[in-house]
Structure 1
């Protein structure tokens, strides 16, 4: 079977996965307005290519938080990769290491963080944190990932409670119960008297609490889930190192802007003071190009990574990443951009479609 684009991987995964697993991966909040708009919003944007430039060499390399990656295409945090492939996050980490891009590991993994690191010891890893009500647990988690060589802390801000995900309800999938079963203790802690956490996100986490993380780690802190200029300005004021524009794949509050639409507002607000990333609805190389032109330093992929896992484990994830990289190279060449530095807002024209 020859899969040539990300939609091919989606079709394959839909055929292979159980309804429960498919609905979990593809699930959206309420009516799915935001989930669908994440994709259609890209289609409203047109490109203004420049020609008669030497594009015999196109270089998509860039850096995030000072670390070089082979392309501005990385892996967003998503839960329970073993739903798609038995080896779960270990396969995802191996693929990311081989392609030389960043993989953000979720708080809610299928396997121990130590096993993920052992599977891909040379990979660039960031850790996504759902802030816990127990601050001692937060501290232990942060110290643990720092010791394991994770290079940034990505704090999710858009999930003080879990969104209204109807398909999970219809399937009687109690996400809170599944999360509560996840043990966030390290292997050593499991053999001690330390109590297992419930691991549900804290609904009381707020701006003033960020300073507690800044005292417990030297890692760059990135806030994931920012959608407005007001919160972007507060993020800069609170001295974080990055903003990750995201609406949680349309799984949290339905009716918020598509990520690519919110990106423009956030980029304008930060005025270049910190790096801005985004996920949500990226399905082609030209989507990546549009996001970069609108100010994203890098895009992150969620569902397509799980489709790739379903196809061939780490090899499927590598195929997804390499297809998108190849499409980005083509889109850059066809628009006259020889490097990421040459991608600018001048490339963008908004359509009324």
Structure 2
């Protein structure tokens, strides 16, 4: 199935022309309704794994509240007849300021898993960041992705040889950047997962990169089954001893750009860059790790100020709508990572559901640019925003 990527201005029209009968599986265009629609089709344990947050959910709520504290202040009669959604990230021109965030074990919500996701992303012209805990191997996902840009997220193993092997495979498979997640030296306290006793990796789901890796396989006993695979995986994951000094070793391992994901404090952003990172991703893991952490958007401006304009800064956690994307770009992000909504689309209608959710997001993004009086995603700045409440007198 080959899909065309509509130009800005065509996206909203195409959704109207398709109508409910032509829309992908009649998946809603309402971002807030996607989660409830996915709840209906997923079993309770799987839905809890996808939608759940750490602890009381305070961090997840903080992510959304951070966006709600900002209002757009549109400008009128600026003669904007064309919009450009493309942005420059790590020296590469991306078609949109949105990338799909890395999420584990897509086969828990759809049998085709990451293969359907990456194809839906390619249909919509949105780059994909592949999780370390995927249900299909690096090579399989690369083959399904086509020529579009794709990145690989690395959960840094305790075994350096395995780390090097995963990085080499990413390079050989055409991934163009490494995203090193640093906010999960141990898994967060997630009551919904704990109540269901459900973590896909402990059942051998989401370990395809490992089971297809020669270094990992060499350490397994002969004829190893799922139990032995999971035991060995558990022994090489969760690298509590990592320090900033070790980032220099990884930097020396590859010529790929390296981004550090899970940074909230400006001092950590400075350390990441000083240790060889090409950029940082401001993120609290979507609220899934530390209950009570600051909202990611609340930390963005300070991180941008700490690293300066020449360093790539992305925003992850809490992004749901086109207006959210615009707010993040206005506050200093070069692009955003988009998480749970696309997985809900995958659950509802596979590849077509992912494509539909992303096209809706891009359609709204294009509309927001039009209505705020901006012709380019890269032209957005803090002058577009005001804190919630009455505007100050000029």
TM-score, normalising length: structure 1? 0.95
Distance in 2, matches of 1:167 and 1:237, equals 38
Aligned to 1:201: 238
In structure 2, the partner of 1:221 is 258
Asked whether the 8 Å contact 2:104–2:133 carries over to 1, the reply is yes
Cα displacement string for residues 159-190 of structure 1 (whole angstroms, at most 9, x for unaligned residues): 01111111111111256634698254464728
Q: Does 1:123 align with 2:160?
A: no
Give the corresponding residue for 2:131: 106
Cα distance, 1:50–1:192 mapped onto 2, change above 3 Å: closer
1:94-131 per-residue CA deviation (whole Å, 9 max, x = no partner) reads 12222222111000001122111111231211000111
Paired residue total: 353
What are the equivalent positions in structure 2 for 1:1-353 lying under 5 Å apart? 1=26, 3-174=28-199, 177-178=202-203, 182=207, 184-185=209-210, 187=212, 189=214, 193-195=218-220, 197-198=232-233, 199-351=236-388
User: Secondary structure of the equivalent of 1:68?
Assistant: strand
Tell me the CA shift for residue 75 of structure 1: 0.2
Q: Distance in 1 between matches of 2:217 and 2:371?
A: 59
Distance in structure 2 (CA, Å) of the matches to 1:350 and 1:146? 43
The TM-score with structure 2 as length reference comes to: 0.85
Please state how far the C-alpha of 1:307 moved relative to its aligned partner. 0.4
Distance 2:103 2:177 in 1: 16
In structure 1, distance between residues paired with 2:278 and 2:324: 25
Gaps of 5+ in 2: 1-25, 221-228
- Shift of residue 324, structure 1, vs aligned partner: 0.7
Segments of structure 1 that go 5 or more residues without pairing to the other structure are: none
Q: Distance in 1 between matches of 2:330 and 2:237?
A: 37
